[in-house]
Structure 1
Protein backbone atom coordinates (compact mmCIF):
# COMPACT_ATOMS: atom_id res chain seq x y z
CA UNK A 1 0.00 0.00 0.00
CA UNK A 2 2.84 2.36 0.90
CA UNK A 3 4.57 1.55 -2.39
CA UNK A 4 1.41 2.44 -4.31
CA UNK A 5 1.13 5.80 -2.53
CA UNK A 6 4.76 6.57 -3.29
CA UNK A 7 4.19 5.68 -6.95
CA UNK A 8 1.12 7.95 -7.17
CA UNK A 9 2.95 10.77 -5.39
CA UNK A 10 5.89 10.42 -7.78
CA UNK A 11 3.59 10.39 -10.82
CA UNK A 12 1.80 13.51 -9.60
CA UNK A 13 5.11 15.30 -8.98
CA UNK A 14 6.34 14.37 -12.46
CA UNK A 15 3.12 15.61 -14.04
CA UNK A 16 3.31 18.92 -12.16
CA UNK A 17 6.97 19.29 -13.05
CA UNK A 18 6.12 18.96 -16.74
CA UNK A 19 3.64 21.85 -16.45
CA UNK A 20 5.84 24.91 -16.48
CA UNK A 21 4.82 28.40 -17.46
CA UNK A 22 5.34 29.40 -21.07
CA UNK A 23 7.83 32.14 -21.75
CA UNK A 24 6.53 35.47 -23.11
CA UNK A 25 8.07 34.58 -26.50
CA UNK A 26 6.16 31.28 -26.57
CA UNK A 27 2.92 33.05 -25.65
CA UNK A 28 3.35 35.59 -28.47
CA UNK A 29 4.25 32.86 -30.97
CA UNK A 30 1.19 30.81 -30.01
CA UNK A 31 -1.17 33.72 -30.65
CA UNK A 32 0.50 35.05 -33.82
CA UNK A 33 -0.79 33.77 -37.16
CA UNK A 34 1.69 32.12 -39.47
CA UNK A 35 2.57 33.70 -42.82
CA UNK A 36 0.59 30.96 -44.57
CA UNK A 37 -2.52 31.69 -42.51
CA UNK A 38 -2.30 35.41 -43.26
CA UNK A 39 -1.91 34.72 -47.00
CA UNK A 40 -4.89 32.35 -46.95
CA UNK A 41 -7.07 34.89 -45.12
CA UNK A 42 -6.07 37.54 -47.67
CA UNK A 43 -7.06 35.19 -50.51
CA UNK A 44 -10.43 34.37 -48.88
CA UNK A 45 -11.51 37.89 -47.86
CA UNK A 46 -12.77 40.90 -49.82
CA UNK A 47 -13.96 44.31 -48.71
CA UNK A 48 -16.98 45.90 -50.37
CA UNK A 49 -17.94 49.57 -50.28
CA UNK A 50 -21.52 48.99 -49.20
CA UNK A 51 -22.78 48.62 -45.64
CA UNK A 52 -25.85 46.70 -46.88
CA UNK A 53 -25.24 43.26 -45.38
CA UNK A 54 -28.49 41.85 -46.83
CA UNK A 55 -27.43 42.90 -50.35
CA UNK A 56 -24.07 41.20 -49.92
CA UNK A 57 -25.65 38.01 -48.57
CA UNK A 58 -28.04 37.97 -51.53
CA UNK A 59 -25.11 38.54 -53.90
CA UNK A 60 -23.15 35.66 -52.33
CA UNK A 61 -26.18 33.35 -52.69
CA UNK A 62 -26.51 34.31 -56.35
CA UNK A 63 -22.79 33.84 -57.04
CA UNK A 64 -22.75 30.38 -55.42
CA UNK A 65 -25.86 29.31 -57.34
CA UNK A 66 -24.24 30.53 -60.57
CA UNK A 67 -21.26 28.31 -59.74
CA UNK A 68 -23.53 25.27 -59.31
CA UNK A 69 -23.78 25.20 -55.53
CA UNK A 70 -26.95 24.34 -53.61
CA UNK A 71 -27.62 26.59 -50.64
CA UNK A 72 -27.91 24.51 -47.45
CA UNK A 73 -28.16 27.16 -44.75
CA UNK A 74 -28.34 30.94 -44.42
CA UNK A 75 -28.55 33.10 -41.33
CA UNK A 76 -28.93 36.81 -42.09
CA UNK A 77 -28.56 37.79 -38.43
CA UNK A 78 -25.06 36.32 -38.15
CA UNK A 79 -24.13 36.72 -41.82
CA UNK A 80 -23.39 33.01 -42.37
CA UNK A 81 -24.05 31.04 -45.55
CA UNK A 82 -23.27 27.35 -46.25
CA UNK A 83 -23.59 25.64 -49.62
CA UNK A 84 -22.67 22.30 -51.21
CA UNK A 85 -21.84 21.13 -54.71
CA UNK A 86 -21.82 17.45 -55.63
CA UNK A 87 -20.55 17.57 -59.23
CA UNK A 88 -16.91 16.54 -59.74
CA UNK A 89 -16.45 15.56 -56.12
CA UNK A 90 -18.24 17.09 -53.17
CA UNK A 91 -17.38 20.71 -52.38
CA UNK A 92 -18.53 22.85 -49.47
CA UNK A 93 -18.59 26.66 -49.42
CA UNK A 94 -18.87 28.70 -46.26
CA UNK A 95 -19.32 32.46 -46.50
CA UNK A 96 -19.46 35.05 -43.74
CA UNK A 97 -20.48 38.66 -44.25
CA UNK A 98 -19.90 41.28 -41.58
CA UNK A 99 -20.38 45.01 -41.45
CA UNK A 100 -17.19 46.98 -40.95
CA UNK A 101 -16.93 49.54 -38.12
CA UNK A 102 -18.52 52.94 -38.70
CA UNK A 103 -20.64 51.54 -41.57
CA UNK A 104 -17.70 51.94 -43.95
CA UNK A 105 -18.54 48.77 -45.89
CA UNK A 106 -18.72 45.04 -45.48
CA UNK A 107 -16.13 42.29 -45.38
CA UNK A 108 -16.88 38.93 -46.96
CA UNK A 109 -14.85 35.79 -46.29
CA UNK A 110 -15.37 32.66 -48.33
CA UNK A 111 -13.89 29.25 -47.67
CA UNK A 112 -14.10 26.43 -50.21
CA UNK A 113 -13.39 22.89 -49.08
CA UNK A 114 -13.20 19.52 -50.77
CA UNK A 115 -15.17 17.09 -48.63
CA UNK A 116 -13.27 13.87 -47.97
CA UNK A 117 -15.17 10.83 -46.73
CA UNK A 118 -12.91 8.57 -44.69
CA UNK A 119 -13.66 4.83 -44.48
CA UNK A 120 -15.04 3.97 -41.07
CA UNK A 121 -15.35 7.60 -39.96
CA UNK A 122 -18.74 8.99 -39.02
CA UNK A 123 -18.02 12.54 -40.18
CA UNK A 124 -16.28 13.71 -43.35
CA UNK A 125 -13.24 15.99 -43.29
CA UNK A 126 -12.91 19.20 -45.29
CA UNK A 127 -9.61 20.05 -47.03
CA UNK A 128 -9.48 23.81 -47.67
CA UNK A 129 -8.84 24.72 -51.29
CA UNK A 130 -6.24 27.40 -51.96
CA UNK A 131 -6.70 28.01 -55.69
CA UNK A 132 -6.58 31.81 -56.25
CA UNK A 133 -8.67 31.51 -59.46
CA UNK A 134 -11.53 29.90 -57.50
CA UNK A 135 -11.72 32.73 -54.98
CA UNK A 136 -11.16 35.44 -57.62
CA UNK A 137 -13.98 34.01 -59.75
CA UNK A 138 -16.33 33.86 -56.79
CA UNK A 139 -15.65 37.44 -55.69
CA UNK A 140 -16.01 38.74 -59.25
CA UNK A 141 -19.46 37.13 -59.44
CA UNK A 142 -20.40 38.61 -56.07
CA UNK A 143 -19.36 42.08 -57.28
CA UNK A 144 -21.36 41.71 -60.50
CA UNK A 145 -24.41 40.45 -58.61
CA UNK A 146 -24.22 43.30 -56.06
CA UNK A 147 -23.98 45.89 -58.84
CA UNK A 148 -26.90 44.42 -60.80
CA UNK A 149 -29.07 44.07 -57.69
CA UNK A 150 -28.27 47.53 -56.33
CA UNK A 151 -29.11 49.12 -59.69
CA UNK A 152 -32.23 47.02 -60.34
CA UNK A 153 -30.79 45.57 -63.54
Structure 2
Protein backbone atom coordinates (compact mmCIF):
# COMPACT_ATOMS: atom_id res chain seq x y z
CA UNK A 1 0.00 0.00 0.00
CA UNK A 2 1.37 3.41 -0.90
CA UNK A 3 2.01 6.00 1.83
CA UNK A 4 -0.76 8.35 0.71
CA UNK A 5 -3.76 5.95 1.08
CA UNK A 6 -2.25 4.59 4.32
CA UNK A 7 -2.02 8.09 5.80
CA UNK A 8 -5.60 8.76 4.70
CA UNK A 9 -6.81 5.61 6.48
CA UNK A 10 -5.00 6.61 9.67
CA UNK A 11 -6.54 10.10 9.55
CA UNK A 12 -10.02 8.66 9.01
CA UNK A 13 -9.56 6.24 11.92
CA UNK A 14 -8.42 9.04 14.21
CA UNK A 15 -11.31 11.27 13.15
CA UNK A 16 -13.74 8.46 14.03
CA UNK A 17 -12.26 8.18 17.54
CA UNK A 18 -12.42 11.90 18.25
CA UNK A 19 -15.16 13.06 20.60
CA UNK A 20 -16.71 16.44 20.19
CA UNK A 21 -15.28 18.59 22.99
CA UNK A 22 -18.33 20.86 22.82
CA UNK A 23 -20.54 17.89 23.70
CA UNK A 24 -18.30 17.02 26.66
CA UNK A 25 -18.38 20.60 27.92
CA UNK A 26 -22.15 20.86 27.62
CA UNK A 27 -22.90 17.36 28.93
CA UNK A 28 -24.01 17.29 32.52
CA UNK A 29 -26.23 15.06 34.59
CA UNK A 30 -27.92 18.06 36.24
CA UNK A 31 -29.74 20.98 34.69
CA UNK A 32 -27.91 24.29 34.46
CA UNK A 33 -30.38 25.91 36.87
CA UNK A 34 -29.85 23.13 39.42
CA UNK A 35 -26.05 23.39 39.07
CA UNK A 36 -26.19 27.17 39.52
CA UNK A 37 -28.23 26.79 42.71
CA UNK A 38 -25.68 24.29 44.07
CA UNK A 39 -22.61 26.27 43.05
CA UNK A 40 -23.63 29.88 43.82
CA UNK A 41 -24.18 31.77 47.08
CA UNK A 42 -24.85 35.43 47.84
CA UNK A 43 -23.37 37.04 50.95
CA UNK A 44 -24.69 40.19 52.59
CA UNK A 45 -21.52 42.23 52.35
CA UNK A 46 -20.36 44.69 49.71
CA UNK A 47 -16.70 43.94 50.54
CA UNK A 48 -15.65 41.80 47.56
CA UNK A 49 -11.99 41.66 48.63
CA UNK A 50 -12.95 40.38 52.07
CA UNK A 51 -14.98 37.58 50.48
CA UNK A 52 -12.15 36.83 48.05
CA UNK A 53 -9.63 36.55 50.92
CA UNK A 54 -12.04 34.38 52.90
CA UNK A 55 -12.43 32.15 49.81
CA UNK A 56 -8.64 31.76 49.66
CA UNK A 57 -8.57 30.82 53.34
CA UNK A 58 -11.45 28.36 52.92
CA UNK A 59 -9.72 26.61 50.01
CA UNK A 60 -6.48 26.34 51.98
CA UNK A 61 -8.36 25.02 55.03
CA UNK A 62 -9.85 22.32 52.81
CA UNK A 63 -6.39 21.23 51.63
CA UNK A 64 -6.29 22.94 48.25
CA UNK A 65 -3.17 24.45 46.73
CA UNK A 66 -3.84 27.86 45.19
CA UNK A 67 -2.79 27.80 41.52
CA UNK A 68 -3.81 31.34 40.67
CA UNK A 69 -5.58 34.24 42.37
CA UNK A 70 -6.52 37.49 40.68
CA UNK A 71 -8.12 40.14 42.87
CA UNK A 72 -8.82 42.41 39.88
CA UNK A 73 -10.92 39.73 38.16
CA UNK A 74 -12.11 38.22 41.44
CA UNK A 75 -11.07 34.68 40.53
CA UNK A 76 -9.21 31.88 42.27
CA UNK A 77 -8.10 28.55 40.81
CA UNK A 78 -7.06 25.78 43.17
CA UNK A 79 -6.15 22.09 43.02
CA UNK A 80 -6.39 19.26 45.52
CA UNK A 81 -4.49 16.01 44.96
CA UNK A 82 -5.35 13.03 47.16
CA UNK A 83 -5.43 9.98 44.92
CA UNK A 84 -7.66 12.08 42.68
CA UNK A 85 -7.50 15.52 41.09
CA UNK A 86 -10.06 18.07 42.20
CA UNK A 87 -9.86 21.51 40.62
CA UNK A 88 -12.03 24.40 41.72
CA UNK A 89 -12.45 27.84 40.23
CA UNK A 90 -14.06 30.45 42.45
CA UNK A 91 -15.47 33.70 41.06
CA UNK A 92 -16.37 36.55 43.42
CA UNK A 93 -18.36 39.51 42.10
CA UNK A 94 -20.51 42.29 43.51
CA UNK A 95 -24.30 42.14 43.29
CA UNK A 96 -25.78 45.56 43.69
CA UNK A 97 -24.52 47.79 46.49
CA UNK A 98 -25.02 45.35 49.38
CA UNK A 99 -24.15 41.82 48.29
CA UNK A 100 -21.29 39.75 46.96
CA UNK A 101 -21.89 36.62 44.90
CA UNK A 102 -19.55 33.61 44.97
CA UNK A 103 -19.76 31.01 42.22
CA UNK A 104 -17.73 27.81 42.18
CA UNK A 105 -17.10 25.42 39.32
CA UNK A 106 -15.09 22.25 39.53
CA UNK A 107 -13.60 19.23 37.84
CA UNK A 108 -13.09 15.85 39.46
CA UNK A 109 -10.52 13.77 37.53
CA UNK A 110 -11.14 15.86 34.39
CA UNK A 111 -14.94 15.43 34.55
CA UNK A 112 -17.35 18.22 35.39
CA UNK A 113 -18.19 18.10 39.07
CA UNK A 114 -21.92 17.56 39.52
CA UNK A 115 -21.94 16.22 43.10
CA UNK A 116 -23.28 18.81 45.57
CA UNK A 117 -21.08 17.67 48.48
CA UNK A 118 -17.80 19.44 47.53
CA UNK A 119 -19.70 22.67 46.90
CA UNK A 120 -21.40 22.36 50.31
CA UNK A 121 -18.04 21.77 52.01
CA UNK A 122 -16.54 24.83 50.32
CA UNK A 123 -19.43 27.13 51.25
CA UNK A 124 -19.40 25.90 54.87
CA UNK A 125 -15.67 26.64 55.08
CA UNK A 126 -16.24 30.04 53.43
CA UNK A 127 -18.98 30.95 55.92
CA UNK A 128 -16.66 29.98 58.79
CA UNK A 129 -13.81 32.05 57.33
CA UNK A 130 -16.10 35.06 56.91
CA UNK A 131 -17.36 34.68 60.48
CA UNK A 132 -13.84 34.38 61.90
CA UNK A 133 -12.74 37.35 59.82
CA UNK A 134 -15.67 39.43 61.10
CA UNK A 135 -14.75 38.52 64.68
CA UNK A 136 -11.09 39.44 63.98
CA UNK A 137 -9.98 35.88 64.81
CA UNK A 138 -7.04 34.63 62.77
TM-score by length of 2: 0.74
Which residue is equivalent to 1:81? 76
Q: Is the 8 A contact 2:62 2:125 kept in 1?
A: no
Which residue is equivalent to 1:53? 48
Q: Is the 8 A contact 2:67 2:79 kept in 1?
A: yes
Which residue is equivalent to 2:103? 109
Which residue is equivalent to 1:99? 94
Give, in whole Å, the separation in 1 of the partners of 2:113 and 2:94: 25
Give, in whole Å, the separation in 1 of the partners of 2:108 and 2:130: 27
Give, in whole Å, the separation in 2 of the partners of 1:53 and 1:75: 12
Give, in whole Å, the separation in 2 of the partners of 1:95 and 1:109: 6
Give, in whole Å, the separation in 1 of the partners of 2:68 and 2:128: 22
TM-score by length of 1: 0.67
Q: Is the 8 A contact 2:69 2:76 kept in 1?
A: yes
Higher Cα Rg: structure 1 or 2? 1
**What value does the CA root-mean-square deviation take over the aligned residues?**
1.2
Q: Are 2:135 and 1:141 aligned?
A: no
Unaligned runs of 5+ in 1: 1-34, 116-125
Unaligned runs of 5+ in 2: 1-29
